[in-house]
Amino acid sequence: MSARNGEIDRALKQEAQNETLEPMTLSLFGQWIGNAEVFAGDGRFVGNGMDMRRVQRVDDCRTRVDVAFIGPFKVSGHYFIRDCGDHRIYEGPVNVGYAETLCEGVVDAHAYWPALGLSQRFLLAVLPDGDTQASLALMSRGDQLVYVVVGQNRRVVGEAGLPELVCGTSLDLADDPTAGRSVMLLHRRGVWQGELVTLDAQRRLIGRVAYCESFSADGRVAMTGGYFDPAHREFCLKTNGWQAWTMPDGEVAGSCGLAGGRASHGYFHHLPVQLRAWRREVVTLDGTRKVLLRHWYRGGERIGSEFGVLAFNPGG
């Protein structure tokens, strides 16, 4: 662990103790098995995947990851990760690239899988229980988005249990934007609320800030809190199930792609503060929590980041 990440983690743990909250700074080591839902680049469901990973420390600076993914695409092998403090280098052979270490349990990676010929933008977060990972992988060839992989893994101690699945076939579920759930988990009527960890442009800790966003039945969205645009903002979000976009009357303007109503990825301009947020989010299988990551930009310059786990309250 680098001095920078140690400082962030110590600060988060101290704040968690003060506020009786669990920080998202938990170890990635161990054996992880889970279920991934795989969507085409246009958001249509193409199948489930079994995701198995064993993460073990080689020495103080290197980690070995053995991985097998069996689904609409298949890959098996291992790669090494070199810890360089505020970032990690994926040294191959099956995965090469670079990952920002936002904190010890949250990484944001840009990588390439040579056996698949696919580039990957990958968000991985260990949830506060310490034994659940949520992830969102955007798999591209060139600039064309090919797959969106929404994952949830459990740390395995002893015998592994059966994965959580929505029963059905890709033949039927490909035309269902909820992938068989009959509800868009992200855009249900209710409130998502919690705290976001805030980092500056050099990924140094600024602090933790309360954040809340609410969705109404008519597509109205309200956001309050965060660090980079803390004011109350409202806008109308229109969706066809596969994508969502704002209408002209709001203070926030932009669009995103959707995957099964569980994950989204896109850019939103916060007009009053003249900032743009690259927003990614993924909801847990039970629909009760979501991981949210926002990188904030002024033009092409990143000025900071916010991430955290939000809880859903259907009553608002």
220-225 vs 205-215, strand pairing mode: antiparallel
What pLDDT does 60 receive?
A: 83
Helix-then-strand count for the chain, H and E:
2, 20
What pLDDT does 316 receive?
A: 61
What pLDDT does 12 receive?
A: 47
What pLDDT does 26 receive?
A: 47
Q: Select 185-313's CATH number: 3.20.20.140, 2.40.128.20, 3.30.429.10, 3.50.50.100.
A: 2.40.128.20
What pLDDT does 158 receive?
A: 73
Name the helix (H) or strand (E) containing 9: helix 3-19
User: Which two three-digit tokens encode residue 211?
Assistant: 């954040």
Q: What is the pTM of this model?
A: 0.90
User: Which two three-digit tokens encode residue 205?
Assistant: 């800790």
Q: Percentages helix, strand, coil for the chain, rounded to the nearest 5?
A: 10, 60, 35
What are the domain boundaries of the chain?
3-155, 185-313
What pLDDT does 117 receive?
A: 98
Which residue from 163, 192, 164 is spatially nearest to 180, judged by alpha carbons?
164
What pLDDT does 70 receive?
A: 95
Classify domain 3-155 at the CATH topology level: Lipocalin (2.40.128)
What pLDDT does 165 receive?
A: 74
User: Which two three-digit tokens encode residue 278?
Assistant: 């690259």
Do 185-313 and 3-155 have the same topology in CATH? yes
What pLDDT does 6 receive?
A: 52
Name the helix (H) or strand (E) containing 18: helix 3-19
| pLDDT tens readout for residues 25-34 | 347 789 999 9
What three-state secondary structure class fits 133? strand
289-298 vs 301-313, strand pairing mode: antiparallel
What pLDDT does 193 receive?
A: 97
Instruction: Give the number of C-alpha atoms closer than 13 A to the C-alpha of residue 156, restricted to the C-beta side.
Output: 17
Which residue numbers in the chain have pLDDT < 50? 1-4, 8, 11-26
User: Which two three-digit tokens encode residue 173?
Assistant: 């579920």
